[in-house]
Amino acid sequence: MSATDIIYFAGFEFNDIGNNLIIDLGSGTGRLSIASAYLRANQVIGIDFDWSAIKIFKQNIKDLGLNHLINPICTNVSNFEISKKNLPDSLKITTIMNPPFGVQKRTADRAFLLKAFNFSDTIYTIHLRNEKVHDFLSKFINKNGWKINYTFPFNMKLENTFPFHSQKKKDINVKIYRITKKEK
């Protein structure tokens, strides 16, 4: 399975993609954004601070004729804000992300989650599958007023795309988390 399966899971199992505003935090070259657009997202905003990735992302959506649906933005996730004031009440926001794992860059995934808590109705996020990560996430998510609604384990094929990837291709055990706000 690949990271894009998160979108099929969100779209078909939970109906969280179609007609929703999708925020793709750490979009890279945009594969999750593009998969969301194909599953009939209302609009997609992709955010990544890596300009070289955003340039490829922009070219990809131009080639696919998806400019009207997807808006790539080059900025740090922590700078991104969205005001719900001018959005219709009926428009739900689903945030999707495959953040850098905390083991590569400590706390990177926390910054992504904290940002997503600000504006999302539902969050889908991919993390390493192990007990320590799960315990940390459960406490962190709970402390911030959210809850883990569902998890889905899978093996993700990791391509050698970053300097810290030592093998050409690797299968890693991950979990998709579906996170929703706690009822008041």
Ligand X SMILES: C[S@@+](CC[C@H](N)C(=O)[O-])C[C@H]1O[C@@H](n2cnc3c(N)ncnc32)[C@H](O)[C@@H]1O
Q: Which residue's C-beta sits nearest to ligand X?
A: 26
In the numeric block, the tokens 């340039």 are attached to: 55
In terms of CB distance, is 107 or 138 closer to ligand X?
107
What H or E segment, with its residue span, contains residue 116? helix 108-119
Cα 137 to Cα 151, 172, 181: the distances in Å are 12, 18, 14
21 with 93: CB under 8 angstroms? yes
Distance of CA 126 to the CA centre of its chain: 8
By the rule CB under 6 A, 3 interacts with ligand X: yes
Q: Bridge-partner residues for 22, per DSSP?
A: 44, 94
- For the bound state, the minimum distance from the C-beta of residue 147 to ligand X, rounded and expressed in Å, comes to 24
Per-position x/- string for 163-182, each x denoting binding to ligand X as judged by CB under 6 A, each - no binding: --------------------
In terms of CB distance, is 73 or 147 closer to ligand X?
73
d(CA 111, CA 101): 11
Specify the stretch interacting with ligand X by CB under 6 A; choose among 49-57, 64-72, 133-141, 174-182.
49-57
In terms of CB distance, is 34 or 93 closer to ligand X?
34
Q: In terms of Cα–Cα distance, which of 126, 73, 127, 122 is closest to 95?
A: 122
Question: Three-state DSSP class for 25?
Answer: strand
Question: Three-state DSSP class for 160?
Answer: coil
By the rule CB under 6 A, 31 interacts with ligand X: yes
Per-position x/- string for 59-78, each x denoting binding to ligand X as judged by CB under 6 A, each - no binding: -----------------xx-
Applying the rule CB under 6 A, the residues between 107 and 166 that interact with ligand X are: 108, 111
- For the bound state, the minimum distance from the C-beta of residue 184 to ligand X, rounded and expressed in Å, comes to 30
By the rule CB under 6 A, 27 interacts with ligand X: yes
Residues in the interface with ligand X (CB under 6 A) total 17
d(CA 103, CA 59): 31
Interface residues with ligand X (CB under 6 A) are: 3, 26-28, 31-32, 47-50, 53, 76-77, 98, 100, 108, 111
